[in-house]
Amino acid sequence: MGWRIGSIGGVPLFVAKSWPIGALLIGWIYYASFAAALPIQQAVLVAALAVIVLFLSVLVHEISHG
């Protein structure tokens, strides 16, 4: 199934085991697009923040289904 990350209102929340691979791929795509305009450290930070915001937005979207 996946990794349990918690529960809301008694409903368990799971993250798919393939999510880290997808996060790395999406992060790499974000990094590649920001690397031309930003220093390396800032591009990595912005890419990581973008992946976190994407994860949180999907989490909120899926919670709203419940």
pLDDT tens digits in sequence order for the chain, 66 residues long: 789 988 888 888 899 999 999 999 999 999 999 999 999 999 999 999 999 999 999 989 988 887
Residue 37 backbone phi and psi in degrees, to 5: -105, -15
> To which H or E segment does residue 59 belong?
helix 40-65
Q: What does the pLDDT read at residue 22?
A: 93
Q: Which two tokens stand for residue 61?
A: 């979207």
User: Which pLDDT belongs to residue 21?
Assistant: 95
Say how many CA atoms lie within 13 Å of 53 toward its Cβ: 7
Q: What is the pLDDT of residue 63?
A: 86
